[in-house]
Structure 1
């Protein structure tokens, strides 16, 4: 069986998705990696592309969506992080939105998502919301989620990803 070369392309706003990309890079044979980093679809000659993204309003970030829209005849493994976590259904909804940007000539060969820490400015925004007399009822839950996310991606998240890419 022919060995397939691969590329890993990612967009990472806070470093969470880069950590996932690094984990994939460490888990797979280095000699088969043709490209690692932020790139353009035209530069990606590999048949297998690992595409990483950060979540923006329930979908991948704009740069990733544009990249995915340009890929043709590739095997794509999607991986991403989201500040709001803890729900597989939420992750599946994000992945479904991302898949809408992938041309039908491509095939999604795997997916992985986990929670990622958010910038402190997000918690500060939640705290300011809480100070308002008529704040959203879920503001305490948002603050709790922020605090839970601080440790992610954690060792378990990275081990799950490592297992998926090496067993897939």
Structure 2
């Protein structure tokens, strides 16, 4: 089966999602790529779109949601990163939220999410919150999750994505 033309569009706040986009681009035929780059809210010409996002409040970032809402009759592969990772259930919940922005004329042909590192300011905020005697009980867990996320997306995350794309 011949590879059809495609575009890879992504939003990447901290560089995590760009790493995933680079991994997708690395394994697909370059001569079939119509567009590779940041989401500028323009609808790419390809019928096959690889759309990457970063997680904001349990869904995709605003720019990605705006682009997804405009698309009609496209095949979409969603990929994203979330600072709070490690749980497929959490990732599925995010993807479910994202898919609500996709018109029913489109087909979601695949999806992938992994954990991504967060800005240091997030950890600093958690540590500062611990100074308050009435701080949330889950702060130690949030700090541990932050520390775990520092290495992501890692090589295993990127290889998993490549395997899914190759299928």
Q: TM-score, normalised by structure 1?
A: 0.97
- Which residue does the alignment assign to 2:139? 139
- Which residue does the alignment assign to 1:19? 19
Aligned residue for 1:34, secondary structure, equals strand
Aligned residue for 1:36, secondary structure, equals strand
Residue 166 of structure 1 and its aligned partner are, at CA, apart by 1.0
Q: Does 1:85 align with 2:89?
A: no
Q: Is the 8 A contact 2:11 2:39 kept in 1?
A: no
Structure 1 runs not aligned, ≥5 long: none
- Which residue does the alignment assign to 1:151? 151
- Which residue does the alignment assign to 2:117? 117
Q: TM-score, normalised by structure 2?
A: 0.97
Q: Is the 8 A contact 1:41 1:71 kept in 2?
A: no
Aligned alpha-carbon RMSD (Å) = 1.0
Counterparts in 2 of 1:39 and 1:61: CA distance versus 1, 3 Å:
closer
Counterparts in 2 of 1:39 and 1:120: CA distance versus 1, 3 Å:
closer
Q: Tell me the distance in 1 between the aligned counterparts of 2:98 and 2:25.
A: 22
The 5 A counterparts of 1:10-89 are 10-40=10-40, 42-89=42-89
Structure 2 runs not aligned, ≥5 long: none
CA displacement, residues 136-165 of structure 1 (integer Å, 9 cap, x when unaligned): 000000000000000000000000001000
Q: Is the 8 A contact 2:42 2:67 kept in 1?
A: no
What count of residue pairs does the alignment treat as equivalent? 167
Q: Tell me the distance in 2 between the aligned counterparts of 1:15 and 1:42.
A: 21
Residue 36 of structure 1 and its aligned partner are, at CA, apart by 0.3
Q: Does 1:164 align with 2:164?
A: yes
Counterparts in 2 of 1:102 and 1:63: CA distance versus 1, 3 Å:
same
CA displacement, residues 5-64 of structure 1 (integer Å, 9 cap, x when unaligned): 000000000000000000000011111111001244544110100000000000000000
Residue 3 of structure 1 and its aligned partner are, at CA, apart by 3.2
